[in-house]
Structure 1
Amino acid sequence: MSPSLTDFKVLSFDCYGTLIDWETGIWTQLQPFIAHLPPNHPFQDRDTLIRRFNEHQRQFQRDQPKILYNEGLAGCFIKLADEAGIPYEQAEAEAFGNSAGSWPAFPDTVEALKVMKQYYKLVIISNVDNDNVHRTLEGPFAGVEIDAVLTAEDMGAYKPDHNNFRILFDTIEEKFGAGKGQLLHVAKSLPIDHVPAKELGLTSVWIARGPGGSTAMGGDVKEFEGKVAFSWRFASLGEMADEVERAFAGR
């Protein structure tokens, strides 16, 4: 029997990439860097730059699971600058690393979260450091009630580490009396969120933003055939919120 959106008590969300426009945030903050590049440089292409940035970030997180997200962002900035032969100041890298808290929410995020808050407890499980997450909560998410926030800084590792999800399971049991079967994970990234969700038997929703759902940070679903098993696919969080309302209205 297929699950229903009314079966769940708690929604857990990846934040940066699913709720916050990670790619636009990165691209916007890198504009001063891009301005130094020659017109024909590959990094002038947004998708190419974001993919390369994402490769550096994933490497940092694999090699240094204790590194803070803002420090990893700064490290990625330096690696890109070194690759491109662009001079930089350490202060520029640090400012870039501390920018995540100012990145914009997707246009549908805030209202969709307010709708879903009527039916579920809301939890963020993020790879971003505490300072940047708190600035997001106070800025782009102002007026949205989030019931719990878990960060890589507090958990000591980055998704897709299974232990982060085990901490999530323990947290919802302790705070809300909910088991894993009452938890629905909502995310964009296939490798970071949906692969471990399948491996751990966690029901998930794919927020498939972008053409065909494929983006530089989220991955291409064709590459992950057999490795992911999301139960729902929506083109946006707003589309999911509409379906949630329909499901509960018809219960």
Structure 2
Amino acid sequence: MPLTEFKVLSFGCYGTLVDRDSGVYASLRPLLSAGDIRLSRAEVVAKFTEYEDLQLTETPRMAYSDMLAQVHRRLAAEWSVIASDDEHALFGKSAPSWPVYADAPAALQYLRRFFKLVVLSNADQATFAGSNRRLEGRFEAIFTAQELGSCKPDPQIFEQMARRLAKQGVERRQILHVAHSLRRDQAPAAACGLAFAWIDRRGQEQSGGAASEASDAPRWDFRFSNLVDMVKAHQQR
């Protein structure tokens, strides 16, 4: 099915539009320095991802800023670093400052001329709004874990999104989910019968966080190295 046959592009945000791993690593540097923790970026991001997964599973409706603060608290305990409540809270509020990928704003501006754009994120509305000020995106809907009561990689969050879009007259075959994470996005999207476009940013990364983890047998309908390539593919239709 060609790109032009889809009506809705649902985007993962952190890892796809926002450089999650770089943002996480930079925001954790004060904690790493305080404890003289000498881990590689990949190791730091992997440990963050482990605790993020755990916290999201335990508290899917928790505000993302509060969830990040709890992850920071767990990391401090893991690394035996003394950190204050203010320091936990500061990390919790860091997501809106994480850098966006340079190709994201212009690509979103182009794609919205041809598709309905929505976001499906483990973050909450307030956190995404902060990131979106940097993305300058104009989305028709923002679906969040806090609102839907489940989080990626639970297929239920994709199911809830598909049902809500169905009420707007959008069939599943008309939805293309666009994301970087195979584990958090591709596998559950496929379980719900959604097509998947893999934004394979691994060449731009230095770490192995959730964004770059592969599922056991990944399948995708489209594969692009970045959003520029996705735009070019659409232009060559």
TM-score by length of 2: 0.93
In 2: Cα distance, 1:132 partner to 1:99 partner:
9
> Which residue matches 2:135?
141
1:6 aligned partner, one-letter code: T
State whether residues 101 and 131 of structure 1, in contact with CA within 8 Å, keep that contact through their aligned partners in structure 2.
no
1:155 maps to which of 143, 148, 152: 148
In 1: Cα distance, 2:204 partner to 2:216 partner:
15
Partner SS, residue 15 of structure 2: coil
In 1: Cα distance, 2:28 partner to 2:204 partner:
26
> Which residue matches 2:236?
246
> Which residue matches 2:6?
8
> Which residue matches 1:217?
210
State whether residues 202 and 212 of structure 2, in contact with CA within 8 Å, keep that contact through their aligned partners in structure 1.
no
State whether residues 99 and 132 of structure 1, in contact with CA within 8 Å, keep that contact through their aligned partners in structure 2.
no
Select between 231-240 and 45-54 the one with higher mean Cα deviation: 231-240
Q: Give how far 1:56 is off.
A: 0.6
Q: Give how far 1:37 is off.
A: 3.3
Q: Give how far 1:65 is off.
A: 2.6
> Which residue matches 2:192?
200
In 2: Cα distance, 1:217 partner to 1:160 partner:
10
> How do 1:21-100 and structure 2 match up within 5 A?
21-38=19-36, 41-43=37-39, 45-100=40-95
Q: Give how far 1:141 is off.
A: 2.0
Superposed CA offset, 1:171-221 (max 9, x none): 22233x210000000011111111111212210011110239883222343
In 2: Cα distance, 1:242 partner to 1:128 partner:
29
Q: CA RMSD in A?
A: 1.7
> Which residue matches 1:179?
171
CA spacing shift, 1:65–1:220, aligned 2, 3 Å: closer
Partner SS, residue 198 of structure 2: strand
Q: Which runs of 5+ in 1 are unaligned?
A: none
Partner SS, residue 152 of structure 2: coil
Q: Give how far 1:67 is off.
A: 2.5
Partner SS, residue 205 of structure 1: strand
Q: Which runs of 5+ in 2 are unaligned?
A: none
In 2: Cα distance, 1:98 partner to 1:212 partner:
25
1:23 aligned partner, one-letter code: D
> Which residue matches 1:132?
127
State whether residues 60 and 146 of structure 2, in contact with CA within 8 Å, keep that contact through their aligned partners in structure 1.
no
Runs of 4+ in 1 over 4 A off after TM superposition: none
TM-score by length of 1: 0.88
